[in-house]
Amino acid sequence: MSNEPPSPAVAPLVASPTAATRRRFIATTAAAGGAAVVGALGAGQPALGAETAPGSRVPTDGGSKDHRNAKREKKMRIVAVEEAFSVPGAIRQEEAIRQHLAAPEAIKKEWFRRLEDLTELRLADMDANGVDMQVLSYASPGLEVIEDPAEAVAVARRVNDHLAKAVARHPNRFAGFAVLPLQDPKAAVVELRRAVKELGLKGVLYNDHVRGHYLDEPQFRPVWAELERLGVTLYLHPAVIPADNWRVFDGYPVLVGPSWGWTATVGAHALRLVYGGVFDEFPGASVMLGHMGELLPFQMARLDSRYAHVPVEQRVRHLPSYYLRNNVYVTTSGVMSHAALLGAVHAVGVDRVLFSIDYPFESSAEAVGFLRSAPYAPADLARIAHGNAERILGL
């Protein structure tokens, strides 16, 4: 890390939303009644035009159906980049952990049925909702729950081989993120190289912490070096089992998981990478964050404004916003909100936002409806729907 003060705000390497995008959003909002929208938002009420319901379309021509847009929607390629699968029996602890998941039994049963299926149910769901490709990743709990490094290495090879075979059977429908045995960083480098170079996987997905350790720690620097050398990203995903217990969550289990705790912990982990100098040492490395970037795009101004208070010896080369615009990619997984999408794109740039469903935990129909009705010009919508994934992941 540098002892020099941070450089002035650096212009992002990505383009901001186009003027056409802004015009379309403004026109849509104005059609809904701008003053009414602002008033409703201030009162905490949903506002027509400020937020479009999943599956609905942005009105055009005074509310009449725009046949050209409908035709464009049918043809638009869709790539979803955080779509889960599982390998029955691969992780010994999985069944015990699944039993404690806070969800109705019927819902959990359907999740597990779909996680284990890589053909019939999954492809039918994709076809029914116009999803051309899923980028598959191993479902949580993943390798982070394994204590023995040797076991983690063996499970990683098994899961990655299983995934590669599934992709090979349906190369036009599936791609994949590898798992890594980060309990043994040297072995993780070897498996990363094998997964990318031999198996053709497109990056890595890992569930937050490595048995309480975070990826800014020195032992993981060789992994970052290999990620940068191979030119692939690491998708930082929440973990079912937290690294520690936060007292503020006591008595409120609803706060621990996807409603809030996962966002807080994974967002903080990503900031450790920033403040820990990972991206200064490996400027070509990147992470992908789901759930609209775990809300970090909306915190950028605050992060920058407080950076002046960071002790000089702990500063990195740029303001925090620089890394969020140059080393972080954002996916829409689990956040079907046009307001959030507009904010994320405005913050990090349309070329860094990717569509995701989070199948089977979220509805493909709702997620695709949210995407198709997003208030963006066709070129920008295509980037989010498939173009960015194709470019970043080499699909």
Sign of CA dihedral 358, 364, 367, 371: positive
Work out the number of other CB atoms within 10 angstroms of the CB of residue 173: 19
Distance CA 369, CA 52 (A): 10
Q: Are strands 79-85 and 328-331 parallel, antiparallel or unpaired?
A: unpaired
* Contact status, residue 341 vs residue 374, Cβ threshold 8 Å: yes
- Active-site pick, 216, 351, 358, 380: 358
DSSP letters along 252-287, please? -GGGTSTTTHHHHHHHHHHHHHHHTTHHHH-TT--E
Residues in the chain, how many? 395
Does the N-terminal peptide bond of residue 141 adopt cis geometry, omega within 30 degrees of 0? yes
User: And the tokens for 230?
Assistant: 């191979």
Q: Is 358 an active-site residue?
A: yes
Of the candidates 186, 169, 188, the residue with the CA atom closest to the CA atom of residue 85 = 169
Active site residue ranges: 358
